[in-house]
Amino acid sequence: QVHLVESGGGEVQTGGSLTLSCAASGHSGGGIFITWFRQAPGKQREGVASIYTTGGRSTYYADYARGRFTISQEYGQNTAFLRMESLKPEDTAMYYCAVATDPRPWSNPVYYQIWGQGTQVTVSS
């Protein structure tokens, strides 16, 4: 059974940066998608960024994240990082990581059965 542990949330001012990490343990076998989602109060959960852990380590981004956020993987480990820069108040949300083997599309939370506990990101103006 895969277990996810997230860390790195916190409060920053507008324009600041944070790096979230997601450590996936208990997985053996082929590649998986490690994906960051976020959910703000009263809003639906939405995909932020995803990385496929083998091969070319393909990455995927939501339009609002591209250019400001970078997802990466620790070499040889199932640990993914989400570097967030130029943060805005609208980025305030609970951020969750999740894993799936074949999500189509990557950003649909329906395809993810294993989730972390979440880490809060607050951006103050």
How far apart are the C-alpha atoms of 56 and 118, rounded to whole Å?
A: 27
Cis peptide before 109 (omega within 30 of 0): no
- 7-66 residue pLDDT tens: 999 999 999 999 999 998 887 777 889 999 999 999 999 999 999 988 778 999 999 999
